[in-house]
Amino acid sequence: MTTRQLFLGIDCGTQGTKAMVLDAASGEVLGLGTAPHSLISGANGRREQEVGQWCEAFALATRRALLAAGVSGLDVLGIGVSGQQHGLVLLDQQGQVLRPAKLWCDTESTEQNQRLLDYLGGEPGSLERLGVAIAPGYTVSKLLWTREQHPQAFQRIARILLPHDYLNYWLTGRACSEYGDASGTGYFDVRRRQWDLALLRHIDPDGRLEAALPELIEADQAVGTLLPQIARDLGLNPQALVSSGGGDNMLGAIGTGTIEPGTLTMSLGSSGTLYAYAEQPQVSTDAAVATFCSSSGGWLPLICTMNLTNATGALRELFELDLDTFNQRVAEAPIGAQGVCMLPFLNGERVPALPHASGSLLGLTLDNLNQANLCRAVVEGTTFGLRYGLDLLRRNGLQGENIRLIGGGSKSPLWRQMVADIMHTPVVCTEQSEAAALGAAIQAAWCQSRASGRPQSLAQLCQRCVKLDAASATRPIEANVVAYQQAYERYRQHVATLLKSE
């Protein structure tokens, strides 16, 4: 009988924290636990969280996962932390949090982002210098916003951390960052894999920000072991190694096995993401493609749409439909919804690049205005946005033989078929939908194996621990592919009209 090798994967997201216990020897997930977070919201675009909530949720989700797994925390060999990208956590000299963390979905610093973008020479200048086009969600504009809006707190900054960096610091007492999450800050050069110190000096000529940067470590390096008091409080092995961790998309890539060319991962969540692994930093000339570093040693070109299940959910609420009835309505309407096209840009949109757009319904007539067509049009519209992003990735030379599908929307057979047909690519779900937590646990096993002198490759671990759900495998139907292509062309024409008027 193989000895168990237990690892804890944590995913600290916007809505809550998920914890997973993985046996890396068998590749089996033994237990899951969750705990919620609350949001500080303002009409001005403020989206913040108290970081103490993350620590409380970490402890609660971990206890629940260990209980569900029926194992002792003292047997855990390593811990990996995935965190929501782009968030800003500021600490003072004593390691105390200076103010709530500004999150990826915060748009309060839009004006500061525009000024920084102008300083860099617009999107082309930002792409040339950093390899990414900075956007309001990125960390860099949050620093300038803090300087202007909270000057006293700014003067006390001793450490600048991302959400997963902060949790690693809380666990180990060591402040560091890894290349994947760092590449989403907007003050990091993704080609050279180093901080852009001059950009931080532009924000703060005194050098305070430069001095507050965490040390950069490789993805397979451990941050350290748990602080004794933290180990006691969490009921975990004090010798458990904390891995480098990473951003949620980067560790989601590990958790779906997207660690070599040829595979694409698509997440159908509140927003939609699509990414592929690349061995070189092939920076796209299109600002919508973010060529982040991966948390596995390469790069992770990524596109993100702002509207997905939030848009389908809004229509469900409008018509007061439960999920099964909504899916039934979608199935009742033909492909193309009899000419009804919805541009579901309820939050503005990142891909296509229409940040100021609002949603619209087009092609309505007395003959096609019915509930089924409207339900179908919202699902098609959100999926067309991901197809638009896939076209951008393909133009950037990234090909995928299949798409690994995760997120809430992936549970719908109807939506899986739609994705396969619209992308003209086979799709399959992973057995474990919590891909970021799984990726964090796998990365922890990778780091621990190297530190213990018995190194396993990340590919070996993914092969053992990432399992595909054969029952979900869905191939494109050629007749559907042709019909969707016509509807997609209509969508593209409507988008082109909006892009001209932006």
For the chain, what is the mean pLDDT? 95
Within 138-221, strands assigned E span 159-161, 176-178, 188-189, 194-195, 215-217
Other C-beta atoms within 10 Å of 189: how many? 16
Other C-beta atoms within 10 Å of 104: how many? 23
189 or 310, which is more confident: 189
Q: 76-80, 275-279, 498-502: lowest mean pLDDT where?
A: 498-502
CA angle 363, 367, 370 (to 5 degrees): 80
The tally of CA atoms less than 13 A away on the side-chain side of residue 83 is 33
* CA separation for the pair 200, 491 (Å, rounded): 41
- Say if residue 205 is preceded by a cis peptide, omega within 30 of 0: no
Active site residues: 248
CA dihedral 268, 273, 279, 285 (to 10 degrees): 150
Closest by Cα among 257, 254, 249 to 290: 249
Say whether 229 counts as a known binding-site residue: no
Whether 1 has a pLDDT exceeding 80, the answer reads no
Question: With bands split at pLDDT 50, 70 and 90, how would you rate the model's confidence at 270?
Answer: confident
- Residues 318-333 as b or e (16 or more Cβ within 10 Å = b): eeebeeeebbebbeeb
pLDDT mean over 177-194: 97
Whether 302 has a pLDDT exceeding 60, the answer reads yes
pLDDT mean over 264-283: 92
Whether 2 has a pLDDT exceeding 80, the answer reads no
Burial of 25 (0-12, 13-18, 19+ CB in 10 A): middle
What percent of the chain has a predicted confidence (pLDDT) above 90? 89
CB 41 within 8 A of CB 17: no
CB 384 within 8 A of CB 238: no
Say whether 85 counts as a known binding-site residue: yes
Instruction: Report in angstroms the alpha-carbon separations of 349 from 52, 308, 311, 404, 408.
Output: 31, 11, 12, 23, 20
Closest by Cα among 192, 268, 222 to 447: 222
Question: With bands split at pLDDT 50, 70 and 90, how would you rate the model's confidence at 45?
Answer: confident
Task: State the pLDDT at residue 17.
Answer: 97
Task: State the pLDDT at residue 400.
Answer: 83
- State the DSSP string of 390-439: HHHHHHTT--EEEEEEESGGGG-HHHHHHHHHHHTS-EEEBS-S-HHHHH
Q: What share of the chain is helix, strand, coil (3-state, %, to 5)?
A: 45, 25, 35
Task: State the pLDDT at residue 502.
Answer: 73
What angle do the packed helices 163-172 and 51-69 form, to 10 degrees? Answer: 70
Measured in whole angstroms, the distance separating CA 463 from the mean position of its chain's CA atoms is: 22
pLDDT mean over 22-39: 97
Q: Which tens digits make up the pLDDT trace of 48-62?
A: 999 999 999 999 999
* CA separation for the pair 352, 53 (Å, rounded): 34
Closest by Cα among 277, 335, 328, 253 to 85: 253
* CA end-to-end distance (rounded Å), the chain: 63
Q: Which tens digits make up the pLDDT trace of 89-136?
A: 999 999 999 999 999 989 899 999 999 999 999 999 999 999 999 998
Question: With bands split at pLDDT 50, 70 and 90, how would you rate the model's confidence at 269?
Answer: confident
Task: State the pLDDT at residue 312.
Answer: 96
Q: Which tens digits make up the pLDDT trace of 311-356?
A: 999 999 999 999 999 999 999 999 999 999 999 999 888 899 887 8
The amino acid present at 386, given as its one-letter code, is: L
* CA separation for the pair 14, 497 (Å, rounded): 34
Instruction: Report in angstroms the alpha-carbon separations of 438 from 136, 251, 445.
Output: 29, 8, 11
Q: Domains in the chain, please, with CATH?
A: 6-249 (3.30.420.40), 257-429+469-502 (3.30.420.40)
Q: What are phi and psi of 337, to 5 degrees?
A: 50, 40
* CA separation for the pair 477, 484 (Å, rounded): 11
CA angle 73, 444, 211 (to 5 degrees): 110
Residues 6+ apart with CB under 8 A from 47: 39, 40, 41, 102, 103, 105, 106, 107, 108
Burial of 479 (0-12, 13-18, 19+ CB in 10 A): exposed
Q: Which tens digits make up the pLDDT trace of 470-491?
A: 999 999 999 999 999 999 999 9
Whether 232 has a pLDDT exceeding 80, the answer reads yes
Whether 25 has a pLDDT exceeding 60, the answer reads yes
Task: State the pLDDT at residue 132.
Answer: 96
CB 188 within 8 A of CB 131: no
